[in-house]
Amino acid sequence: MEERTQEEKLNTPAKGKKKSRRNGFLFLSLLLTAIAMILLLIFYQSYMNSFREDKVQQVYDRYYVMIAPDRKSDFMQAVYKGAFERGKKDNIYVDILGDDLPEDYTKYDLMRIAIDSGVDGIIIDADESEEMTGLLVEASLANIPVVTLLDDNTQATRCSFVGIGGYDVGREYGLQVSDIIKALRREYFMTTEDAKEEDIAEIDVAVLVNSSEPSTGQNIIISGIKETIARNEQSGSKANLTMVAVDNSNAFSVEESIRDLFINGDVPGIIVCLDELTTTCVYQAVIDYNVVGEVNILGYYNSDTIINAIDRGAVYATIAIDTAQLGRYCVEALEEYNDMGATSQYFTADVTLINRNNVSSYVRKEEQDEQILESPAEN
């Protein structure tokens, strides 16, 4: 008994030292995190105080920030351009937050910076996470109006949501899926002797969904797809619809998720993409794995890469969104709220289906619009 007691006495200080060391490490990590956030806030406040002189040489009436994890994509840059141009008309500076910061911060970090800096309005690609909900509450308490863009948060107060008609987009995807399946059925009966209805297998349809964050907008699109396909199954459009999770946290993770889809088993006959990056990556994978013509891609957005892919027959169709309208609506919602104290809860931008039938006319119209914008104004 004495020996055990002595060992316990000897071990007690050692355990205490380990516990004290752990507490020290924890305190140090928390301290460093706090210092980093303070330095970041000081840097950003300094940037805000000097941006008028360094960047634009003009005093603006209001300062709005746009926050989006994919801010460097063609799609989001086009939305930002629409917001920026609309803001200039009312002497408002719209900044896309994150480009001038020393590190790549999450949208939650950027939202916190914008709130602490006291901006006049925030435009953010939101989600339904608890962290986002808490930040929206903080912004409301700080009297900073927030417009949610493309993805909403229904748990907290925001002045408006600007997006697309998710169900209508899903319905359009569903109709395209049904058209593809019907075309494949016709080809089967025309090229197969003694073709029988019961011999036609279901077509595998994969909808690539973002697994990195919850999204009500994505869920509404999926509902539109499911219901439209179900209605069209009565006319012979048999589809085996599955949701495939894609990690959208960065471009590399998207490429990895799509590569797994192509190397693990049978590739679906139809792939539905719900964002620009996924569309581009699937298009590249179809080329890399030499299955052009075997996989029908339904894309999202009208970047030059996607439009060219439709023209070449590598992408079946895409949903084009009026990005300038999205950006314009965001600024108008913030302005109306700041001036009047209220604004419409929802703004919906126009969408257009582009496929092989209308891609040429679409390109011509875009070229004509660019020429009009570039031509000097008549006196």
Distance CA(362)–CA(379), nearest Å, equals 30
Structure confidence by residue, pLDDT tens digits, 270-318:
999 999 999 999 999 999 999 998 999 999 999 999 999 999 999 999 9
Band of the pLDDT at 7, cuts 50, 70, 90? very low
Distance CA(338)–CA(334), nearest Å, equals 6
Q: How many CA atoms lie within 13 A of 124 on its CB side?
A: 28
Structure confidence by residue, pLDDT tens digits, 211-223:
876 677 889 999 9
- The pLDDT of residue 329: 98
Distance CA(70)–CA(72), nearest Å, equals 6
Return the top range by mean pLDDT from 10-14, 113-117, 228-232.
113-117
- The pLDDT of residue 57: 56
For residue 106, the SS3 value is coil
Distance CA(109)–CA(147), nearest Å, equals 17
Torsion sign (Cα): 290, 293, 294, 296: positive
- The pLDDT of residue 16: 53
DSSP 212-276: SS--HHHHHHHHHHHHHHHHHGGGT--EEEEEEEE--SSHHHHHHHHHHHHHSSPPPSEEEE-SH
Q: At 300, which helix (H) or strand (E)?
A: strand 296-300
- The pLDDT of residue 378: 47
Q: At 92, which helix (H) or strand (E)?
A: strand 92-96
- Residue 3: is its pLDDT beyond 50? no
Structure confidence by residue, pLDDT tens digits, 11-50:
555 555 555 656 666 666 666 666 666 666 665 555 555 5
Band of the pLDDT at 2, cuts 50, 70, 90? very low
- The pLDDT of residue 130: 93
Give residue limits of the domains in the chain: 166-321+350-372
Torsion sign (Cα): 209, 210, 216, 218: negative
Which CATH number is associated with domain 166-321+350-372? 3.40.50.2300
Q: Indicate the burial class of 191 (C-beta count within 10 angstroms; 0-12, 13-18, 19 or more).
A: exposed
